[in-house]
Structure 1
């Protein structure tokens, strides 16, 4: 993914999202074959409605047509980050300390490229996860992908998560 392109897209989209009362959570731009997909994730404290996503999608589509930032064919998708939200920055993880996350690393650490467990700390550009084998601390630049692992309530346990 081209960091400069992502920054240009963020600079274009962020003010449009904020004008609608939405926070830009992050962007994914995936290329493959003859077309690409631009995924725009937005959120608010109360969640995001389909109508809000549709409105931002229309605004972004027009702006991208005018600015012509993306030179290839692409599909635009606008949505909330969802329950298993992808993290684009370690600061986004701070409110989720104590919850389960999964992390895929670029290079193996202690013979493993993937870790899942409880997020126990976030400091500047590092995160610490506690899994069944102990704790591991990863630098953000070593992480390929990090997601929240939402635990659905177990049926018959009155809202307790399993």
Structure 2
């Protein structure tokens, strides 16, 4: 029997339970940075994620991971929200954030640029489609894009709004 990856074990533990708090599991990463390992869990919800939400998930996950014990080495657990400039990964996120301003970082330059910005039109037939500031539609295959993230457009914020 094949051993499950840590990220899959964590997702299996969390998904049935975080719905109780109207939370969504956005991402799970188990990465090595320098000499340390990090288990990063990103959660979201309709309003905004609170510190209490992160603490609840962290405590719950710690308890369950102690029982299941899928990680043999030392690691740091981080539970966080995606933030305002969140990275879009899932098809549902591309649907949810249609019309929002995004930044695409490309593996290879497109017309001399490795970074493109525009309004997200969607994820269509495996391509990320945006409309740039002059109204030109740009269609980039998703496998040519290293990162797609939301951008805060400070020009669109009113004077009374905080960032």
The TM-score by the shorter chain falls in which range?
Answer: 0.7 to 0.9
State the aligned residue count. Answer: 155
Stretches of 4+ aligned residues off by more than 6 angstroms = none
Q: What's the offset of the Cα at 1:137?
A: 1.7
What is the RMSD computed on CA atoms of the aligned residues?
2.4
Q: Distance in 2 between matches of 1:64 and 1:94?
A: 33
Q: What's the offset of the Cα at 1:30?
A: 2.8
3-state DSSP class of the match of 1:73? coil
In the other structure, the counterpart of 2:114 is 113
In the other structure, the counterpart of 2:23 is 22
Q: Distance in 1 between matches of 2:125 and 2:13?
A: 26
Indicate whether 1:139 and 2:141 are aligned: yes
Task: Give the unaligned 5+ runs of structure 1.
Answer: none
Q: Are residues 63 and 143 of structure 1, via their aligned partners in 2, closer, same or farther at CA, if it must alter by over 3 Å?
A: farther
Between 1:53-62 and 1:130-139, the stretch displaced more is: 130-139
| Contact preservation (8 Å) 2:6, 2:30 | no
Q: What's the offset of the Cα at 1:131?
A: 2.3
Task: Give the unaligned 5+ runs of structure 2.
Answer: none
Q: Distance in 2 between matches of 1:46 and 1:110?
A: 39
